[in-house]
Amino acid sequence: MLKKKNLIFVGAPGAGKGTFSAILLEKHPLAHISTGDILRNEIKNDTPLGREAAVLMKEGKLVPDEIVAGMVKKRLAEKDCENGFILDGFPRTVKQAELLEEALKELGRKLDAVIYFKVPDETLLQRLTARQNCKKCGAIFNKLFMPSKKENVCDHCGGELFQRPDDSLETAKSRLEVFYKQTSPLIEYYDGKSLLMSITELDKDKITAQLFAELE
């Protein structure tokens, strides 16, 4: 059982939020709430929200706070979140953090920990531009650091691997800028609430060990 199970994963794009969510979920049945995944699903289904989000995401900009906070509030009220959750990529602004706090209060829940994955910019850009995702199951690979066994084929389900359009070098750079301007104030915000744990390690096994030591 986890000691801490209502979690936020924060970090710049490419910092490993998705990768370490998957590692934690292999062992613990938490609900995985990735606002990026929810938005990509809206785009796939060609909904009005998806069409609005697609323009912003392509430029590496953030989708408006009220929209993403509303999506997350709805998701948190679902049954599977009762056992705990990982918020991956949300909140991304202090306003979103405040809206989250209100939503959790209404649901009678509270946060247990905010994990900050701190990674140098050169590494982030190298990782983002070499990242590959599975079209079928969403698994994450990296051509340089975590390659699939067979080129462009998912190890888990055999699905085709692709590069996210916003992982191009140009958009990745804008997303990093957006992180420092709009998201990084959250680090201080959650530190002030004594919820923050920073991971500065870059080795996958060492990060995994630190994560489990903090949460289990």
Residues 42 and 44: their CA atoms lie apart, in Å, by 5
- Closer CB to ligand AMP, 32 or 175, in the complex: 175
User: Minimum CB separation from ligand AMP for residue 173, in Å?
Assistant: 12
- Closer CB to ligand AMP, 13 or 84, in the complex: 13
Q: Is 49 in the site for ligand AMP (CB under 6 A)?
A: no
What does each C-alpha distance from 85 to 29, 59, 139, 144 come to in angstroms?
A: 9, 29, 19, 30
* Residues 17 and 208 sit within 8 Å (Cβ to Cβ): no
Candidates 33-41, 129-137, 151-159, 200-208: pick the segment binding ligand AMP (CB under 6 A): 33-41
* Residues 64 and 71 sit within 8 Å (Cβ to Cβ): no
Torsion of CA 81, 85, 86, 88, to 10 degrees: 20
Q: Which residues in the 100-139 window bind ligand AMP by CB under 6 A?
A: none
> Of the candidates 12, 24, 31, 57, which one interacts with ligand AMP according to CB under 6 A?
57
> Of the candidates 11, 16, 84, 89, which one interacts with ligand AMP according to CB under 6 A?
89
- Closer CB to ligand AMP, 63 or 199, in the complex: 63
- Closer CB to ligand AMP, 137 or 209, in the complex: 137
User: Minimum CB separation from ligand AMP for residue 36, in Å?
Assistant: 2
> Of the candidates 56, 81, 153, 202, which one interacts with ligand AMP according to CB under 6 A?
56
* Residues 58 and 171 sit within 8 Å (Cβ to Cβ): yes
Active site residue: 5, 17, 40, 75, which one?
Answer: 17
Active site residue 164: yes
* Residues 76 and 109 sit within 8 Å (Cβ to Cβ): yes
Candidates 87-95, 109-117, 122-130, 196-204: pick the segment binding ligand AMP (CB under 6 A): 87-95
Task: Kindly list the residues in this chain that would bind ligand AMP in the complex (CB under 6 A).
Answer: 13, 35-36, 39, 56-57, 60-63, 68, 89-92, 96, 166, 175
